[in-house]
Amino acid sequence: MAGTKKLLRALAGEVMDVPPIWMMRQAGRYLPEYRATRAQAGDFLSLCYTPDLAAEVTLQPIRRFGFDAAILFADILLLPQALGADLWFATGEGPRLSTVTTQADFAALKPANAIHDRLAPVYETVRILSRELPADVALIGFAGAPWTVATYMIAGRGTPDQGPAHALMAEDLALFDALIDRLTEATVDYLSRQIEAGAEAVKLFDSWAGSLHGEAFDRYAVEPCRRITQALKARYPGIPVIGFPREAGERYVGFAKATGVDCVALDNSVDAAWAAENVQVDGCVQGNLDPRHMVTGGQVLIDETRRVVEAFSRGPHIFNLGHGITPDADPANVQLMIDTVRGR
Ligand SMILES: Cc1c2[nH]c(c1CCC(=O)O)Cc1[nH]c(c(CCC(=O)O)c1C)Cc1[nH]c(c(CCC(=O)O)c1C)Cc1[nH]c(c(C)c1CCC(=O)O)C2
């Protein structure tokens, strides 16, 4: 059923001599062709909502590097916008949103099933990609995990420690839980439409899972991911799900079993040899080269790439960075990483 696409074979548990490879934020500002298309779109959100241009930037890194997978070009914050939050990107400062901190703010949000008009251009991007991608390249859809998306909705911006979200959890647990439930439900609907439009695997980005500890990790990182995975697999049997509880540390252990995801994406703070022994035992893992090597390059990049490939070589593995590539990266270093993984 996984066919011949390497990414889908790895997600189905196959061990390969050369792992499939793609890169988080592979369509991004480090590429001159991305910057040109973004300028054509005018701004980041217009790029996300213009299907032809969003498909174009998704395809750019495939053409340039021949990655084994493409990830839909969109953003995790489009979902809160579709639920009714205001969203804008302050140049050089990252995202800004209207906040959800009171019952009245929550009551103003739309129901989960009312998101699709706003998100229709995203589904159209997926349809274009599923027609235009080379036959051996898999298409990954994605969404933010409920906790991570909630941290942005509560604070109205990115925060170093997710303080406002932790504060709301402490002050009004019913409201916090209602927001997580709404996001969980909306994420199932959003990813379902991506799958129907042609996404062949989906990834849940829980970028701020690392600030959840103890029971809170179970309740807000594990449980929403488990619910979303279970609902998707009930609707689309066999759809592979990648979970990315970034900076989960020791909580990566058992995450796949507890949630039902097919693959756990590892950030670069965990040692690959440790993760092979403790996480890959349960199935496919993705990761986890430090993105800074895409800036610094050289023999260290080659050595570290080989170390990651070797550490995960005895189980199913998708080669990737431990987090997104940064705008100051050198595309030549990306090529060097790919050549090293593919043994050239
Ligand atoms: C937290 C988060 C966001 N967005 C995302 C996350 C989770 C992953 C992570 O931890 O990085 C996920 C995301 N964002 C983007 C994608 C597209 C697919 C990909 O190439 O990986 C994906 C999967 C495009 C983007 N999303 C954004 C850009 C840069 C926008 C630009 O072109 O100016 C891209 C290519 C903007 C964005 N979007 C977000 C932030 C905080 C920012 C600003 C930071 C920055 O500028 O890099 C929210």
Cα 288 from Cα 320, distance rounded (Å)? 6
Residue nearest to atom 9 of ligand 1 (CA): 207
SS3 category, 98: coil
| Whether residue 189 lies in the annotated active site | no
> What is the 159 CA–ligand 1 centroid distance (Å)?
15
CA atoms within 13 A on the CB side of 118: 21
Show the tokens assigned to 63: 């053409």
Say what the pLDDT of residue 93 is: 87
Q: Is 203 in the pocket of ligand 1 (CB under 6 A)?
A: no
Residue type, 176: F
| Whether residue 193 lies in the annotated active site | no
Q: Which of 279, 147, 269, 278 is nearest to 212 (CA)?
A: 147
Cα 251 from Cα 328, distance rounded (Å)? 31
Out of 76, 93, 97, 191, give the residue to mutate to test ligand 1, the one with the largest number of ligand atoms within 8 Å of its CB. Answer: 76
Residue 198 region by backbone torsions, left for phi larger than 0, else alpha for psi between -120 and 50, else beta: left
Q: Which of 65, 41, 36 is nearest to 54 (CA)?
A: 41
Domain ranges of the chain: 6-341
- ipTM of this predicted structure: 0.93
The answer to whether the pTM exceeds 0.90 is yes
Q: Is 205 in the pocket of ligand 1 (CB under 6 A)?
A: yes
CA atoms within 13 A on the CB side of 337: 34
Mean per-residue pLDDT, 308-323: 98
Which 3-state string (H, E, C) describes 217-280? Answer: HHHHHHHHHHHHHHHHHHHCCCCCEEEEECCCHHHHCCHHHHHCCCEEECCCCCCHHHHHHHCH
Cα 96 from Cα 21, distance rounded (Å)? 32
At 95-106, the pLDDT tens digits run: 999 999 999 999
Catalytic residue among 9, 25, 246, 292: 25
Angle between helix 163-171 and helix 173-197 axes, rounded to 10 deg: 120
Ligand 1 atom index nearest CA of 27 = 20
| Whether residue 86 lies in the annotated active site | no
Residue nearest to atom 6 of ligand 1 (CA): 76
Residue nearest to atom 44 of ligand 1 (CA): 94
Q: Which of 253, 258, 261 is nearest to 233 (CA)?
A: 261
Say what the pLDDT of residue 2 is: 54
Say what the pLDDT of residue 92 is: 82
Mean per-residue pLDDT, 262-272: 98
Residue-wise DSSP of 136-185: T-EEEEEEE-HHHHHHHHHHSB--SS-HHHHHHHHH-HHHHHHHHHHHHH
Q: How confident is the model at residue 342 (pLDDT cuts 50, 70, 90)?
A: very high
Residue with tokens 């199935």: 283
Residue nearest to atom 21 of ligand 1 (CA): 25
Q: Is 26 in the pocket of ligand 1 (CB under 6 A)?
A: yes
> What is the 24 CA–ligand 1 centroid distance (Å)?
9
Is 138 within 8 Å of 200 (Cβ atoms)? yes
Is 208 within 8 Å of 168 (Cβ atoms)? no
Catalytic residue among 29, 35, 118, 157: 29
Cβ neighbour number for residue 285 with a 10 Å cutoff? 29
User: Which residues are known binding-site members for substrate?
Assistant: 25-29, 75, 152, 207, 323
At 293-304, the pLDDT tens digits run: 999 999 999 999
Cα 162 from Cα 155, distance rounded (Å)? 8
Residue type, 80: P
Cβ neighbour number for residue 253 with a 10 Å cutoff? 18
At 72-102, the pLDDT tens digits run: 999 999 999 999 999 999 888 899 999 999 9
Mean per-residue pLDDT, 123-151: 98
Show the tokens assigned to 267: 């950030």
Say what the pLDDT of residue 1 is: 47
Q: What percent of the chain has pLDDT over 70?
A: 99
SS3 category, 200: coil
Mean per-residue pLDDT, 45-57: 98
Q: Is 76 in the pocket of ligand 1 (CB under 6 A)?
A: yes
| Whether residue 75 lies in the annotated active site | yes
> What is the 75 CA–ligand 1 centroid distance (Å)?
6
Ligand 1 atom index nearest CA of 207 = 10
> What is the 344 CA–ligand 1 centroid distance (Å)?
31
Distant-in-sequence, close-in-space partners of 132: CB < 8 Å, separation ≥ 6: 55, 59
Topology (CATH) of 6-341? TIM Barrel (3.20.20)
Residue nearest to atom 23 of ligand 1 (CA): 75
Mean per-residue pLDDT, 203-222: 98
